Structure 1
Amino acid sequence: MRFKILRKGTLLIVWMIGLSGAGKTTLADAVVARVRETAPNIVSLDGDVIRTVFHDDLGHDMDSRRANSWRMMQLCKWLDDQDQHVVCAILSLFPEHRAELRKSVSSYYEVFIDAPLADLQDRDVKGLYARYAKGETSSVAGLDLTFPVPQTPDLTIRNDQGRDGLMAHVAPIADRIIDAK
């Protein structure tokens, strides 16, 4: 198998944004797997995983969320400098971080996965929305924390058609990474 190493000037950072349960990680993992078939220099970053990597040292209040977003942003910049493509799945509550990243990496492609809140509450893979409804947790984006909808995403995916509808976007995003000039 021959691998094509994609270099600077090609699409490197894909920043996938959405509320909890929107499908960010599912889509990111599928895109990375597809790209990795021909281009091994791709990394997946997930906001929840990065929290774990750093020993869950941050909470979910706004200051902690800002710190985790900053970590993700700095990791993306560092990996960009190493000629690595990055597909990042992150809640992304801070428009200023997105703007900074867009300016500071080789190439940036923002994907907003928009899913109706009712669908997210029905899916509730992590049980987050149920815990919020019972009063067991707070600081939930889209409920008691404002989620600033991205104003200038490069792609908006309306995820209200189930898994197949979401997975229909894997090939176009992966091809964009592989074929970018």
Structure 2
Amino acid sequence: MVIWIIGLSGAGKSTLAEEVARIARDARPDVVVVDGDAVRAAFGNDLGHTMEDRRRNAERIMGLCAWLDGQGIHVICAILSLFPEHRAWMRANVPGYFEVFVDAPLDQLRARDGKGLYARFEAGKIEGVAGLDLPFAAPDAPDLRIRNDGDQRALLTHADDLARRIIDA
């Protein structure tokens, strides 16, 4: 099974993924978290943030998740997921694919800004920030849509149900 958690930077993807994994691992050791930033680092940060580099990184992540799933390892992937065609490929090619969209309002994302992306963008120091000058196509029909406009506890109320999907798989 692959739980594909998508959303903009600061939406809570990694936080949710780690909590789902923590809960699921109590019953199943065959659970890994694949995080978009961690995959970049694992491959030596050899890609930039051009659209082509973002596409290549996403394709690496897709391939890794599909391969792990094929090995019987359950994957919780926290990824920006800019490309709708990648989501469609995952849905068509990975049995048990489950898409979660963590939707947070831009003002909340700017307030959280754990990586400083939004502040650097506003200061004119960077460009290519998804949701600002880089379009982000929200999924049309995710399996679960979580509106994350509250505190972290509200987001994490979904972790038990997501972990149960893995435990029961």
TM range (shorter): over 0.9
Q: Take 2:59 and 2:77, find their aligned partners in 1: how far apart are those partners?
A: 13
**Of 154, 157, 162, the match for 2:146:** 157
Q: Where do 5+ consecutive residues of structure 2 fail to align? A: none
2:46 counterpart residue number: 57
Q: Take 1:56 and 1:127, find their aligned partners in 2: how far apart are those partners?
A: 19
The size of the alignment, in residue pairs, is 169
Q: Take 1:92 and 1:159, find their aligned partners in 2: how far apart are those partners?
A: 17
Structure 1 residues 69-127: Cα deviation after superposition (integer angstroms, max 9, x where no partner): 10000001110110000000000000111111111112100000000000000111111
TM-score (normalised: structure 2): 0.98
Q: Match of 1:41, as an amino acid?
A: D
Q: Does 1:76 align with 2:65?
A: yes
**Of 13, 17, 32, the match for 1:28:** 17
Alpha carbon RMSD of aligned pairs, Å? 0.6
Q: Match of 1:32, as an amino acid?
A: A
User: 4+ runs of 1 displaced by more than 2 Å?
Assistant: none
- Give the secondary-structure state (helix, strand or coil) at the position aligned to 2:34: strand
Larger radius of gyration: 1
Q: Where do 5+ consecutive residues of structure 1 fail to align? A: 1-11
Identity %: 56
Q: Take 1:127 and 1:62, find their aligned partners in 2: how far apart are those partners?
A: 20
Shift of 1:152: 1.1
1:8 counterpart residue number: none
